[in-house]
Amino acid sequence: MNLRDSEIFTQHHILFEQMGLLANKLQIKAYLIGGFVRDLILEKDSKDIDIVVVGDGVAYAKELSKELQGSKLSYFENFGTAQILHQGLILEVVGARKESYRSESRKPSVSAGTLIDDQNRRDLTINAMGISLNPEDYGQLLDPFNGLQDIELQIVRTPLDPDKTFSDDPLRMMRAIRFASKLGYKIDEETFDGIARNKERIKIISQERITDELNKIILSPMPSIGFEYLFDTGLLEIIFPEMYQLHGVETVQGKSHKDNFYHTIAVLDNLAMLSNDLWLRWAAILHDIAKPATKRFEPGTGWTFHGHEDRGSRMVQPIFRKLKLPLNEKMKMVEKLVLLHLRPIVLASDKVTDSAVRRLMMEAGEDIDSLMLLCKSDITSKNEKKVERIKKNFEIVLEKIQDVGEKDYLRNWQPPITGNDILENFKIEDKRHIGVLKAALKTAILEGEVEDSYDASMNYLKKLAGTLNIGLTQQP
């Protein structure tokens, strides 16, 4: 197959022809390889171009960089790899190599090899195709493992025996699932069974590498594809046991609760249609994470998960720490969204009052829009009438929140009385009383019971302090 006539190939024709002429000059063979070839066949433009040469990759990259005016070269002699930045493209150059592995490590022993040696070490057939750049066979597709056919069949498959592929580099199991999720493909049965057989090997991979692949699955168009494969192969129980534990349905006295694993990935899919924000998607994954720990059966009531939002919020930081996710403002946003995720649904289930909306906006702050996207995605009941009613009220909540002036005001709003004001005016023996007074004042102002001014707020606090036996300081 010759791909020279494709639109994307034609866009880069001058560059590719220059690469091939240089390869001939240096008396070596050069090929486009891997993901760029796959995307080219899928008619997806890519700025990342992988090149493999049968010879010294770094030496070739140095010469190529000299010819590409204004390019920037980085290279790593020890690894035999180089990178060239050129006109918005990232050219990754490596010498063809073959690898051998020890059972206890994913770090291979590497030596120079042929093109087929290099293709043998690739993770999937769809990533093992090459395109010749040398003038004598310029544009020819080299596809020893029928990757083109697998693209047509929409199948993810390893080029070699999956046991060898996954045992050599267990991260390839995550990559196989990631590409199935990204492309919406099915994993070949033999490849699937290979993942299931080799799942324990994932334990030798660093957490950072696992989490990187997990995040890419989360960012795929339909993440549930990836999570179902992670679950069905047994990988999820190893890499993310807290999410695995959401699975299962228990029945007591004829009453069953829903399977919270499948509910969670349904919410994640709903949200994926609305937002590409990774951390908002993490909030979807973790919104019900504490349901297994809070599950109770109450006779006459049925299954309850009281407090799962609060406990789930407190689980966010330990999970982020274990998965090597950032412990920063992104994590704090996820904590907040998990804590508040029931609030808009409860609000939309009842009469929607202005004061309740104001309280919600004040607590969510600048994350109110993200919270509403999460909660909209969380409406998944099989009771169509209930869903219709909640969605109708949900739209009322959204309309109220869309008042820009109100939104901006509440995002920045703080009560007129500070903690220091309370310390100066009241005899505080128990510091917890500061929080009690501030919280009560916030609620009173937002409910419209107290005017939003210093004097009115102070008078309210003085009356409240009396009921709590909190004395006033002597004023001069």
pLDDT in tens, 11-47: 999 999 999 999 999 999 999 999 999 999 999 989 9
Q: What is the mean pLDDT of residues 224-230?
A: 98
Dihedral sign computed on CA atoms, order 390, 396, 400, 404: positive
Residue 211 has what pLDDT?
A: 98
Residue 414 has what pLDDT?
A: 78
Which residues make Cβ contacts (< 8 Å) with residue 256, sequence separation at least 6? 249, 250, 303
pLDDT higher than threshold 50 for residue 240:
yes
pLDDT higher than threshold 90 for residue 92:
yes
* 188 confidence band (pLDDT: 50, 70, 90): very high
Q: What is the mean pLDDT of residues 125-141?
A: 95
Residue 404 has what pLDDT?
A: 43
Residue 215 has what pLDDT?
A: 98
Separation of first and last alpha carbons in the chain: 93
pTM, two decimal places: 0.85
Question: Which of 280, 279, 335, 346 lies closest to 312, judged by CA?
Answer: 335
Q: What is the mean pLDDT of residues 449-459?
A: 90
3-state helix, strand, coil in the chain (%, to 5): 55, 15, 30
Residue 209 has what pLDDT?
A: 96
Residue 403 has what pLDDT?
A: 64
Residue 407 has what pLDDT?
A: 58
Residue 57 has what pLDDT?
A: 93
The domains found in the chain, sorted by start residue, are: 7-146 (3.30.460.10), 419-467 (no CATH)
Q: Tens digits of per-residue pLDDT, 104-116?
A: 555 655 667 889 9
* 185 confidence band (pLDDT: 50, 70, 90): very high
Are 244 and 236 in contact, with CB atoms under 8 Å apart? yes
Please give the Cα distance from 58 to 81 (Å, whole number): 6
pLDDT higher than threshold 50 for residue 173:
yes
pLDDT higher than threshold 90 for residue 402:
no
- Residue 91 burial (10 A CB sphere; 0-12, 13-18, 19+): buried
* Phi and psi, residue 431, nearest 5°: -60, -20
Please give the Cα distance from 268 to 218 (Å, whole number): 8
Please give the Cα distance from 402 to 164 (Å, whole number): 56
Residue 109 has what pLDDT?
A: 57
**Which residue type is seen at 405?**
G
Which residues make Cβ contacts (< 8 Å) with residue 311, sequence separation at least 6? 290, 293, 294
Are 417 and 424 in contact, with CB atoms under 8 Å apart? no
Please give the Cα distance from 73 to 62 (Å, whole number): 7
Question: For all residues of the chain together, what is the average pLDDT?
Answer: 90
Please give the Cα distance from 285 to 276 (Å, whole number): 14
Q: Tens digits of per-residue pLDDT, 339-373?
A: 999 988 777 666 667 777 777 887 888 899 899 99
Bridge partners (DSSP) of residue 302 are 298
